[in-house]
Structure 1
Amino acid sequence: MNIPAKLYRFIDQLNKWRMQKISNRNFLILVALLVGIVGGLAAALLKGMTHGIAAFLQDEVRSQYKYYVYLLFPLVGILLSVVYVRRFIRKKELGHGMTPIMYAISRNSSKIEPHNIYSQIVTSAITVGFGGSSGLEAPIAYSGAAIGSNMGRFFGLSYREVTLLLACGAAAGISGAFNSPVAGMIFAIEILLPEFSIPVFIPLLISTATAAVISRSIYSEPLFHLVTDDWVFSALFFYVLLAFIVGGFSVYFAKLAGWLRLQYNKIHNPYRKVWISGISLGVLIFIFPALYGEGYLAIQQILDGNHLAMLQNSIFAEYSQTGIMVVIFALCTVFAKTFAALITLNGGGNGGVFGPSLVVGGLLGFAFSYGLNLTGMVDLNVANFTVAGMAGALAGMMHAPLTAIFLIAEITGGYALMVPLMLVTAIAYLINRVVLKHSIYTKGLAEQGDLISHEDKDRTVLSMMKLRYVLENNFTILRPDEYPQDRSHDIIHTKRNIFPVVGEDGKFLGVIYSERLLEILLGEQPEGLKKTMAELAEKPIDTVSLDANMELVMQKMNREDVWILPVLDASGFYQGFVSKSAVFNKYRALLVRQASYFDQ
């Protein structure tokens, strides 16, 4: 017996034993703990690898041409990431950001390819460590989600249980990356599990807390330091103004992301994308050094009160003592960071917009408050407005205000700013939501009809269906050169009332209804006995493509008031039929599955 068969038997026996000895609820908690441990280790590994690569390139590489080569590092990082994907992953998919995780939940039974556990870490560490201007949070969430998904599948758990563990893994990744267990848990609930029940909290709490402990014990360096006592009531009006600015910018960010994605999709050669992105990044980093890597260093310098540091490390250092130049440079860095992050991701690098959204939001908050202070009319706390801008940008772009509030409060220690954070995130989120119905993560899924929407149950359930699962192909096929008398036995004894006419090559030619064939065979239409099936066939009211969205299929059926439609592939070859009966049966089954979603 080969090894895979032995392993399969061992897993099967292990699962039978645990089902007998351990209740499902307790077993989920144990697996959530294990997911948290592995997720915390993955987060620590990713942070250690990324910062190790960056430190080596910046501190250990010694050459008189170092700073010229320095500009090529982002190009090298993106190139290595693309080479890794094409060489080691090949036909398997390496997703970017949170969107593929949400797609896995809604359309792929929460299954994520196992290679994402390590591939996300390797490619993002290379991309960001070499200077790619993106964040590590989305890759580690993806890696954690892959850990949870594959552990659930390993133990033979159901869809709802695998989905819960997937969310635990993603939450553990966020918790380990930021040392923020509460934000990690809220992130999973707000982004991945918008409909949840109380029992979901326990596994999420365990996995996020465990991940934070493991990650912090290995890689204890905090992300940000902020010392703040409180906020003043007189600044409330300015927090509202900042919220409108950040909310508007989040709309711009999302629209620019969509436009750049379309432009890059026109470039079919992946290495051409690498060159375009790598060279562009090098130029941008040369002008704006804060774009190198995640960009968190610039934010920490602002929180430390070192407001002039961005200019001091740039080619414009001679203007670092001029306040208005600092503000202008910060605003230019905001727009440059937006471009840098998006071209990094579209060019083949791995990362996410989670981190860049924090950076641009923080810089907007800094430029706003520091600029107003220069007028002498007000005296705003620059650090407070910086973290408020970070929260607002995250809430607007992700449509996740609660995650933004608790994440910023945890990673900066700014719990005293809870009221301004709530105000800024709520306004920024509402502005983005009014202009753009979907977040930067869900827009693509919504356009493809793959988004689970808990506001529209019917569309949600239909989006979860795949046509191939409701396809019926047990119909009697008639050939175009046959006569009714030749197939009289099949016609009389069939249980179907429609017959597809299909050529020998599989090409669909039309349909014939049983009523007409029976009338011909019974002599009511004797002239029909002399006609071939091709002559008797009629064009159907409509046809359905095999890859069609189920919502579109139901729209066609309702518009034409038909109960059944033929299904063809892209070349027009017959595949079968789809009927309302089959759709309704599948619909009921999915409703049952949704109704029990995470109920214990």
Structure 2
Amino acid sequence: MKLKIQQKLDQLNRWRMQKISNRNFLVILAFAVGIIGGLAAALLKGLTHFIASKLQNDIEWHFKYSFYLVLPLLGILFSVLYVRKFLRGRKFEHGITPIIYAISRKSSRIEVHNVYSQIVTSAITVGFGGSCGLEAPIAYSGSAIGSNTGRFFGLQYKEITMLLACGAAAGISGAFNSPIAGMIFAIEILLPEFSIPAFIPLLISAALAAVVSRLLYSEPLFHTATTEWEVEALFFYMFLAVIVGLYTVYFAKISNVVKEWFVKVRNPYNRVWFSGIALGVMIFIFPALYGEGYITIQQILDGQFDSIVKNSLFSDYKNMAWVVVCYTVLTLFAKSFAALFTLNGGGNGGVFGPSLVMGGLIGFAFAYGMNQTGVVMLNVPNFVMAGMAGALAGIMHAPLTGMFLIAEITGGYTLMVPLMLVTSISYLINRSMLTHSIYTKVLAESGDLLSYEDKDRTVLSMMKLRYVLETNFVVLRPQETPNDRKSDIIHSKRNIFPIVDEKGILLGIIYSERLFAILLGEEDGADKTFDKLVQKPNDIIRDKENMEVVMSKMNRDDVWILPVVDEQHKYLGFISKSSVFNKYRALLVRQGHYLE
């Protein structure tokens, strides 16, 4: 049955290639990906809010503290159980980093289970109070939709990558009802090098996803009436941008620290208990940490400046302005730990949403605090929105996404100039201190990041050592002599011979020039064993090393070929500059067609 289906699919693809060009077919598939991505976004938002409302409705706020201590832990636990019991060993990752890695190293292939697994686990995590966002999971789910759609129709790398980006754009567009931000997100984060035709499929997918999501789940993320910004306030917007930029640097650094903490906890269920209990305690003290945190931001935008303290243990002090400011700052720092504990403890979500919330809290604390001095009166909602855009720009290294996202979700472009200033300054501060964003740092350190700023390094990073490994060499044993292997040596087409013992361990090498000199009597040693004649290679290549390291070793010692061994020093083959250059040319051709 499976063979017949595959045959029918092949026939359909052959007919399609004859009748429809790849470019036009890509546009058709972009329609499909946009619609499915919009459905996925609506499903995720609806499911998450359904779970949250069922757990919270008809419960007086002062009784919720006891539930806050338990619910986040249960959400993380159920998410971990789903992954371990239902996925049964299949790899499950969260965040934007795996999407970028799939483009760089996996030919844009994402496992199909991510279409639904991302939705289920993130809805459980956030619905039960996990302090993270839904945007990264829906972008991952949309990317899986696009990737598997392209693979289903047998498309090539460039088309699959474009559909993957269309899916991610559709996910972000559907989640925020912001098609422009969805499209720019795909370009800034996933497709840093693109051509004008790339806009068309992205526009189609993002627009359709926004339409479908709005039809099925019409509740906007934020609703606010923006007011005109004042020229006199520009200095304060720039001051806010500096604060936000520095905070994004802090968040990136603390995320690495928290990740290292959790790496030391080997048992996944111990991570659940640790993160769940810690999260419950933090939410008990700072109720605004429950879930995404957008409700608190919306209340602030509505002018309810005491809302962050109102439903907390410190509600009796809600009328004291400086208590509100200080409590907001504490909530801000608690949010960074709450989000990271949720994600590293086993919950599924992303830092996209927390970035907005943290930026909003910074903007509120800054503007509201400045107003209490009596020196100036700032428009608090405007600074909240500017802070949201700045945090997103700094943490993600995506200033355009931050700027257009806030402009779209606030219903206009009244604040465009302040948004441009805050996002650009925040981004520049973060970029000056941290070369890579929170999404790309790990990939850059492992050599798996595509960087279009350095073409040579980019192409090398796309190579996999196993594809350039050469194995057609005559292997010599340490107890053999040149006379014993005379025939093999003479007829070998290679000018280098590995000497390997019975356990497969590489002892060294010997060149054909020396062997011929020995066999012709120009040098003594015809009856000497190879363990006496062995030469130490200039260097060796480990099978886990990336190609940039390989070329560095070759250039440093000015050699054309080096042996490759595994972690136990067992011989695997050789790698030569010729094979690397051939693969390099092939990848350049593939890149030349990329996103044409």
The answer to whether structure 1 residue 201 and structure 2 residue 199 are counterparts is yes
Match of 1:575 among 556, 560, 572: 572
Match of 1:230 among 228, 240, 246: 228
Counterpart for residue 537 of structure 1? 534
Counterpart of 1:537, as a letter, is V
- CA shift, 1:379, in A, is 1.1
Within a 5 Å distance, the mapping from 1:29-40 to structure 2 comes to 29-40=27-38
Task: Give per-residue Cα distances to partners, 1:6-30, cap 9 Å, x unaligned.
Answer: 1211111111111111121110000
Counterpart for residue 250 of structure 2? 252
Match of 1:337 among 331, 335, 338: 335
Give the percent of matched residue pairs that are identical in Structure 1 and Structure 2: 69
- CA shift, 1:61, in A, is 7.3
Q: Distance in 2 between matches of 1:215 and 1:66?
A: 31
Q: Distance in 2 between matches of 1:91 and 1:553?
A: 33
Match of 1:379 among 374, 377, 380: 377
The answer to whether structure 1 residue 473 and structure 2 residue 474 are counterparts is no
**Could you tell me whether the CA contact under 8 Å between 2:440 and 2:449 is conserved in 1?**
yes
Task: Give per-residue Cα distances to partners, 1:572-593, cap 9 Å, x unaligned.
Answer: 1111000011111111111111
Counterpart for residue 500 of structure 1? 498
**Could you tell me whether the CA contact under 8 Å between 1:226 and 1:304 is conserved in 2?**
yes
Counterpart of 1:566, as a letter, is P
The answer to whether structure 1 residue 354 and structure 2 residue 352 are counterparts is yes
Match of 2:389 among 385, 388, 391: 391
**Could you tell me whether the CA contact under 8 Å between 1:141 and 1:170 is conserved in 2?**
yes
Match of 1:592 among 583, 589, 593: 589
**Could you tell me whether the CA contact under 8 Å between 2:370 and 2:376 is conserved in 1?**
yes
Q: Distance in 1 between matches of 2:349 and 2:398?
A: 19
Counterpart for residue 553 of structure 1? 550
Q: Distance in 2 between matches of 1:576 and 1:138?
A: 41
- CA shift, 1:86, in A, is 1.3
Within a 5 Å distance, the mapping from 1:8-407 to structure 2 comes to 8-59=6-57, 67-407=65-405
- CA shift, 1:63, in A, is 13
Match of 1:461 among 453, 459, 462: 459
- Determine helix, strand or coil for the equivalent of 2:594: coil
**Could you tell me whether the CA contact under 8 Å between 2:227 and 2:382 is conserved in 1?**
no
Task: Give per-residue Cα distances to partners, 1:525-562, cap 9 Å, x unaligned.
Answer: 2x412211222112211110111110000010011111
Q: Distance in 1 between matches of 2:200 and 2:412?
A: 26
- Determine helix, strand or coil for the equivalent of 1:416: coil
- CA shift, 1:66, in A, is 5.8
Provide TM-score, normalisation by structure 1: 0.98
**Could you tell me whether the CA contact under 8 Å between 1:226 and 1:414 is conserved in 2?**
no
**Could you tell me whether the CA contact under 8 Å between 1:467 and 1:550 is conserved in 2?**
yes
Counterpart for residue 438 of structure 1? 436
- CA shift, 1:595, in A, is 1.6
Q: Distance in 2 between matches of 1:488 and 1:285?
A: 77
What RMSD in Å do the two structures reach over aligned CA positions?
Answer: 1.3
Q: Bigger CA drift: 410-419 or 297-306?
A: 410-419
Q: Distance in 2 between matches of 1:393 and 1:338?
A: 12
Counterpart of 1:591, as a letter, is L
- CA shift, 1:97, in A, is 1.0
- Determine helix, strand or coil for the equivalent of 1:478: coil
- Determine helix, strand or coil for the equivalent of 2:100: helix
Counterpart of 2:377, as a letter, is D
- Determine helix, strand or coil for the equivalent of 2:574: strand
Task: Give per-residue Cα distances to partners, 1:130-157, cap 9 Å, x unaligned.
Answer: 0000000000000000100011011111
Counterpart of 2:365, as a letter, is A
Say if 1:122 and 1:242 are closer, same or farther in 2 by CA, change over 3 A: same
Q: Distance in 1 between matches of 2:91 and 2:486?
A: 50
- Determine helix, strand or coil for the equivalent of 2:483: helix
Counterpart for residue 411 of structure 1? 409
- CA shift, 1:252, in A, is 0.3
- CA shift, 1:128, in A, is 0.5
Task: Give per-residue Cα distances to partners, 1:412-431, cap 9 Å, x unaligned.
Answer: 11410000000100100000
**Could you tell me whether the CA contact under 8 Å between 2:483 and 2:527 is conserved in 1?**
no
**Could you tell me whether the CA contact under 8 Å between 2:226 and 2:410 is conserved in 1?**
no
- CA shift, 1:92, in A, is 2.1
- CA shift, 1:524, in A, is 1.6
Q: Distance in 2 between matches of 1:41 and 1:401?
A: 28
- Determine helix, strand or coil for the equivalent of 1:53: helix
- Determine helix, strand or coil for the equivalent of 2:435: coil
**Could you tell me whether the CA contact under 8 Å between 1:74 and 1:281 is conserved in 2?**
yes
- CA shift, 1:506, in A, is 1.5
Counterpart of 1:561, as a letter, is D
Provide TM-score, normalisation by structure 2: 0.98
- Determine helix, strand or coil for the equivalent of 1:315: coil
Counterpart of 1:430, as a letter, is L
Structure 1 gap segments, 5+ residues each: none
Counterpart of 2:169, as a letter, is A
Q: Distance in 1 between matches of 2:493 and 2:527?
A: 25
Q: Distance in 1 between matches of 2:272 and 2:69?
A: 14
Match of 2:562 among 562, 565, 572: 565
Counterpart of 1:293, as a letter, is G
Task: Give per-residue Cα distances to partners, 1:270-325, cap 9 Å, x unaligned.
Answer: 11111110000000000100100000000000000011111110000000000000
- CA shift, 1:70, in A, is 3.2
**Could you tell me whether the CA contact under 8 Å between 1:146 and 1:166 is conserved in 2?**
yes
Task: Give per-residue Cα distances to partners, 1:255-275, cap 9 Å, x unaligned.
Answer: 000111112111111111111
- CA shift, 1:220, in A, is 0.5
Counterpart of 2:25, as a letter, is F
- CA shift, 1:65, in A, is 7.0
Q: Distance in 1 between matches of 2:60 and 2:239?
A: 47
- Determine helix, strand or coil for the equivalent of 1:572: coil
Counterpart of 1:270, as a letter, is P
- Determine helix, strand or coil for the equivalent of 2:414: helix
